[in-house]
Structure formats: C-alpha cells, structure tokens
Structure 1
Amino acid sequence: MRVAVTGTPGTGKTTATDLVETDLEPVHLNEVIREEGLATGRDEERDSLVADLDAVADWLGDCEDLLLDSHLAHQLNVDRVIVLRCHPEELERRLTERGEPAAKAEENAESEALDVILAEAVERHGEEAVYEIDATDRDPEAVAGEIERVIDGEREPSAGTVSFIEYL
C-alpha cells in the first residue's frame, strides 16, 4: 500500500510522518527531489525547485508499502491520500516563523483557504480515497495517531469536512 501525506506547506506533514508508527517506509519526497536531482528547474519567484513528477514516479518504481510525505505526494499513484489542513492564519504564522517571505506565507494561506490541495487530491483519487485531518490545534503526536488510523483502516474517508472559507 502507498499512502500520501500531503497538504499546504506548513501544515505539519514532515513533523507528523516522522512520528507515525507503521510498517510503511517513510519517504520525504522534497528531500528525494533535491538529493536525487529530480527537478526540471527552479521557480525563482517562489525560491523552490520545480519537481519532475515523472522522474519521481520512475525513482519510486513499483515500490509498495510507502508513506510519501510532500505537498506534491497526492500527484503520484497512491492508494490513500491524507490531506493535512491548518487554519490559514495559523499557517501563515508558522511559515513566517520559519523564515518564509510574507508574500509566500500569504499565498500559501490563501491556497489553504481555497482547498487547492484537497481539490487536486479528490480530482485525481476520488473522495473515497481522501482523508482530511485538521492539524490546526493538534500536537504532532495526535496528528501522527490520526495518520496511523487511516493507514490501519480505522478511519473513514473525509474529503470536504474541513473548511476555512471564512478566511477569505
């Protein structure tokens, strides 16, 4: 089984997946993209690499039993997609505190309010494979526990249960 943990940057994906107790092998895709040179270039405006998702898919090959962590993980072939969510105001605070430029933090907060990653995940994988977890007021251990419940099949799909539209 392949499980993607995705969400807007700053929602806590890497922190939570590092705490998940599972037999699935964790793969931090952003590190893989950087270390393996799986990018087509650099987005200077956003100061980030532009991932070559075909190259990432090739690098993953037919490997199973993976826990993929990245804001891009939902764009790959996976069995379940966990979308971590965070209230845009909290998300903007987190990104600013970790040194992101204000414009980038604001852009990500707006993307979160508009459900951009959730919509992409549902479009690619269908509602029956997408699970939302609101990480706004949860500590990383609690989020990891919810991820474990999804992996173990103890949680029902929940696309569309989190909304931050009031932020807009």
Structure 2
Amino acid sequence: MECRRIIVVTGSVGAGKTTLSRELARILQCRYINLGDYLISKGLTAGIDRRRKSIVVKEGNIMDELKKEDCLIIETIYPNLLSGISPDLVIVLKCDPEELYRRLKDRYDAEKIIENVEADVIDTFTIESINTFGDDKIMEIDTTNTTLEDEVKLVLSALNGSVKLPIFLNRGLDIYIKLNSIRRMLLGHS
C-alpha cells in the first residue's frame, strides 16, 4: 500500500507559513508547494484583485495533479480551495495582532495589514479549514513567541500521534482590543 502524507499549512500573511512549510518539507522529504504560486504557474488564476493585492482563482478542481504526490506540504491562504484532498494534518498558524502588525508594516499598506490582522483575529483560516476538512485534523500554533524548532516539534508530535488533535487556541477578548488599537493607529484615529 502506498504511503501518502499531505500536510496543509495555512494562516495569515506574516504568520510564518513559508518558513515552517519549507522546514517540514526538508525534514519529511516532501514536495513543498505554495498554492498561490502553483495556481499562477498552472494558469489557474483569473487575474489579480489589485485592491486586495491577491489572486483571483478560476473555478474548478485544482487538485488532480497534486493528488499524485506521495508526500506534500501545501502552504496556502486559501484552504477552501483544497476541498478535493484529505490531509493528514492541517496547521493553522496564528500570531498576536501587534506582532503580526510589526511583521507586516514594512511589507504592506495599512489596508492590507488591517485585512490580514482581522483575518487572523476572527479565525478566518481556522473556520475555513474546519469547513473544508472537518475539525479532527486541525492544529493551531501561535507563532508569536515560538521558534521554528518548537513549531516543528509540535507538528512532528501531532504526526506521530503523541499529541491528540484537534488543538485550538483560546485567545480571548484581549486580541479584539489589540485589533481595534491597530486599526485606529493605521487609520489615524485616536
């Protein structure tokens, strides 16, 4: 019987998806795919949403070619596009809003930062992942103060069964207060 492993890594821009995904691919000897880049390279995009600075994906099944892989680490901000697969693990990376702001402030404009911080705060990636894959394979990791080594250990523990899934963080109301503070600062309100 063929041994297959598919791991999806999702979360807001700046949460650490690329770093973790590439390291997991190296350690597990899997193919790493950034889903956005993959869609562009295969001509599966319908264009660019210039206002949101993101790609617009064509409708249809994007997973046929990817299903052939034995071991795959898929990094994405679009977990809902992967409904055609059954991953072994879905990792949702989260980050404190103020730290996420610091990571994004030199890369994006205020609107894009707010969009990404809000998406993280309201659990967009967790909710989309649950709706797409169910909740039994979800593992949230807070990357605010963790090292890459710590994150990899958590993931490997989940894969070998020594950590029971699902794992959800409970960050509370203080996160929403921080979000409002960032929004006011970026939009110039006191």
TM tier, shorter chain? 0.7 to 0.9
What secondary structure does 2:161 align onto?
Answer: coil
Q: Give structure 2 stretches of 5+ with no counterpart.
A: 177-190
- 61, 71, 81: which one aligns with 1:65: 71
Q: Which residue of 2 aligns with 1:150?
A: 158
- The answer to whether the aligner puts 1:133 opposite 2:141 as a matched pair is yes
What secondary structure does 1:30 align onto?
Answer: helix
1:28-53 Cα deviation digits (max 9, x unpaired): 22221232222112111112211336
Q: Which residue of 2 aligns with 1:39?
A: 45
Q: Give structure 1 stretches of 5+ with no counterpart.
A: none
Q: Which residue of 1 aligns with 2:181?
A: none
Higher relative contact order (CA 8 A, sep 6+): 1
In structure 1, what is the Cα distance between the partners aligned to 2:59 and 2:159?
A: 24
1:57-89 Cα deviation digits (max 9, x unpaired): 234244342111111245412322111111111
**Conservation of the 8 A alpha-carbon contact between 1:127 and 1:159:** no
Q: How does 1:4-83 map to 2 (within 5 A)?
A: 4-20=8-24, 21-52=27-58, 54-73=60-79, 75-76=81-82, 77-79=85-87, 80-83=89-92
**Deviation of 1:55 (Å):** 4.8
In structure 2, what is the Cα distance between the partners aligned to 1:162 and 1:119?
A: 14
**Conservation of the 8 A alpha-carbon contact between 2:48 and 2:54:** yes
**Deviation of 1:125 (Å):** 1.6
Q: Report the count of equivalent residues.
A: 167
Q: Which residue of 2 aligns with 1:114?
A: 122
Percent of aligned pairs with the same residue? 28
Change beyond 3 A, Cα 1:165–1:62: farther
- The answer to whether the aligner puts 1:86 opposite 2:92 as a matched pair is no
Normalization by structure 1: what TM-score?
A: 0.87
The structure having more radius of gyration, on CA atoms, is: 2
Q: Which amino acid aligns with 2:143?
A: A
